[in-house]
Copies of this chain bind each other. A is one copy, B any other.
Amino acid sequence: MKLLEDRIQKDGLILNDDILKVDSFLNHQVDPALMMEIGKEFARIFADTNADRILTVESSGIAPAVMAGYVMDLPVVFARKHKSLTLPDNVYTADVFSFTKQVKNKIIIDKRFLHPDENILIIDDFLANGQAVYGLLDITKAAGANIQGVGIVIEKTFQRGRKLLDENNIRVEALARISEFKDGKVVFTED
């Protein structure tokens, strides 16, 4: 998605060989017009699916997922990161390890909002090590629902998330695929 790649090139901050900060338009400050274009692009890419529901994780997944849900006319459920020791009743839960923060979070989704045999589309802002997406896949499987695909705004192809998903035959579509950071620039992979 050229609009997104151009924006990453212009406003992304490369902190080191692994970390790209896009907090000026995606995950702290949000550009709503760009989010709408991202939503339209997910709708176009996944037009051949028949999803019943979109899942994402708070907080950075919410804006792109809600825009995709708007264009596709689907409800969006954002998994909550659960902090307290006691779990509420009637939730699906999965562990998600954050490499950036070096902490393990539990994410939870209320069982009222995910049902057996539903078709699920997962949307998230980043795919790096794939932990958040994996948590959502675990929850989807536990609910007996079907994964139709995973839509990612920005993928770092040099980390292991994509490999894990490919090995499990999950369809992954990323709007911008980064292969490396070189000379202070982002290098994108051509599909």
Q: Which residues of A contact B (CB under 8 A)?
A: 23-24, 28-33, 35-36, 58-59, 62-63, 66-67, 69-70, 73-78, 80, 84, 101, 109-110, 112-113
Q: Of all chain B residues, which has the CB nearest A36?
A: B70
Q: Are A112 and B66 in contact (CB under 8 A)?
A: no
Q: Is the CB of B80 within 8 A of A30?
A: no
A31 and B23 alpha carbons, distance in the complex (Å): 25
Given A24-B112, A28-B109, 15 more A-B residue pairs with CB atoms under 8 Å apart are A23-B110, A28-B78, A28-B110, A29-B75, A29-B76, A30-B62, A30-B66, A30-B78, A32-B66, A33-B73, A35-B70, A36-B70, A58-B59, A59-B78, A66-B67
Copies in the complex: 2
- Inter-chain CA distance A168–B29, complex, in Å, is 27
Q: How far is the CA of A29 from the CA of B76 in the complex (A)?
A: 6
State whether A69 touches B32 (Cβ < 8 A).
Answer: yes
User: In the complex, how many angstroms separate the beta carbon of A21 from the nearest chain B beta carbon?
Assistant: 10
Contacts of A24 in B (CB 8 A): 112-113
Q: Are A113 and B32 in contact, CB atoms less than 8 angstroms apart?
A: no
Contact A28 B69, beta carbon cutoff 8 Å: no
Closest beta carbon of chain B to A62's beta carbon, Å: 5
Question: A64: nearest residue on chain B (CB-CB)?
Answer: B66
Contact, CB under 8 Å: A75 / B28:
no
B80 in contact with A59 (CB, 8 Å): yes
Contact assessment for A77 and B32 in the assembled complex, using a CB-CB cutoff below 8 Å: no
